């Protein structure tokens, strides 16, 4: 059985005996890898099964000054207009500058220069990459996580965590407008991603802390569940790519959300972080595959 077939069967719980492995490195670790091995092919060197392809969002402006203000040296601004000043190159720690942190109205969200989804040439290039990897026997993963997440993360990184969580209860019109715009973009992106022919679509939103969740189950269902479902439906509900597997990542203790994630179409959950939770996952939720611990 070729690697791709064995991997996909394992992810669908159709056979045992094969345990896939995967890894993600901090930037400093990537540099150390290059120094020690003399190249940057981590997947090939360590015989990792998955090959990744990317479809990048495209900036619609390079001028975010009116939204970010004067920036310190060393701040990098991405296509979403979110500024980041790295604090520690050895980790992912950094100071974010939120372009929507001071807004007071829905109109300001509507005026904001959100990015656009990738064009046809980028999608065709990614599809050719996907086909090439699959012909070599590798399963292929594509990501709809523009700033590390799919719905919750882009919204709070644009607005700021405290502001955004307060908006859910105190400024629901602002929260709705922001989430709807992020959802619109990521839904379109997910459809394009699935059209590449990838085997897995990766989505993410860190809803959990070490002991609980950022929002209650009721708020998750009110604000996020249906929007995530829309992204998954467009990407994987037998419209664009009938066989694609939905891989969802969330740090933290999100056990309360797992039934909802399964209901909206998540096939693979990564990770299950709370102490001992991964031991009970298979018994409690046999339909979802756990990838990570």
Distance linking the first and last C-alpha atoms of the chain: 26
CA-CA-CA-CA torsion sign (185, 191, 193, 195):
negative
d(CA 273, CA 184): 30
Contacts 24+ apart (CB under 8 A), 93-98: 96/157, 97/68, 97/71, 98/157, 98/158, 98/159, 98/160, 98/163
Could you list the pLDDT tens digit for every one of the 293 residues in the chain? Answer: 688 999 999 898 887 678 888 888 888 889 999 999 999 999 999 999 999 999 999 999 999 999 999 998 889 999 999 999 876 655 566 789 999 999 999 999 999 999 999 999 999 999 999 999 999 999 999 999 999 999 999 999 999 999 999 999 999 999 999 999 999 999 999 999 999 999 999 999 999 988 899 999 999 999 999 999 999 887 654 578 888 999 999 988 899 999 999 999 999 998 766 554 554 455 555 566 666 54
Structural domains in the chain, sorted by start? 3-290 (3.20.20.210)
- Kindly state the tokens that stand for 198: 């990838």
Residue 241 phi, psi (nearest 5): -140, 95
Nearest-angstrom CA–CA distance, 219 and 288: 23
């Amino acid at each position: 059985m070729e690697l791709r077939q064995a991997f996909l069967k394992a992810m669908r719980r159709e056979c045992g005996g094969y345990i896939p492995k995967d890894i993600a490195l901090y930037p400093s670790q990537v540099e150390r890898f290059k120094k020690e091995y003399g190249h940057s092919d981590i997947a090939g060197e360590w015989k990792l099964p998955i090959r990744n392809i990317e479809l990048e969002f495209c900036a619609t402006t390079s001028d975010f000054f009116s939204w970010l203000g004067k920036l310190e040296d060393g701040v990098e601004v991405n296509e979403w207009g979110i500024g980041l000043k790295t604090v520690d190159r050895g980790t992912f720690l950094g100071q974010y500058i939120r372009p929507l942190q001071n807004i007071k109205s829905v109109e300001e969200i509507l005026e904001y220069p959100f990015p656009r989804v990738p064009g046809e040439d980028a999608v065709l290039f990614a599809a050719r990459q996907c086909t090439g990897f699959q012909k070599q026997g590798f399963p292929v993963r594509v990501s709809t996580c523009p700033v590390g997440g799919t719905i919750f993360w882009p919204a709070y990184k644009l607005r700021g965590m405290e502001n955004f969580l307060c908006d859910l209860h105190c400024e629901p019109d602002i929260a709705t407008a922001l989430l709807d715009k992020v959802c619109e973009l990521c839904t379109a992106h997910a459809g394009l991603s699935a059209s590449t022919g990838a085997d897995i679509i990766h989505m993410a939103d860190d809803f959990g802390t070490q002991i609980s969740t950022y929002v209650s189950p009721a708020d998750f269902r009110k604000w996020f569940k249906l929007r995530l479902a829309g992204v998954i439906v467009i990407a994987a509900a037998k419209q664009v790519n009938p066989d694609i597997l939905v891989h969802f990542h969330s740090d933290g203790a999100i056990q309360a959300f797992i039934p909802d994630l399964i209901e909206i179409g998540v096939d693979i959950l990564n990770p299950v972080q709370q102490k001992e939770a991964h031991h009970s996952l298979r018994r409690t939720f046999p339909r979802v595959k756990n990838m990570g611990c």
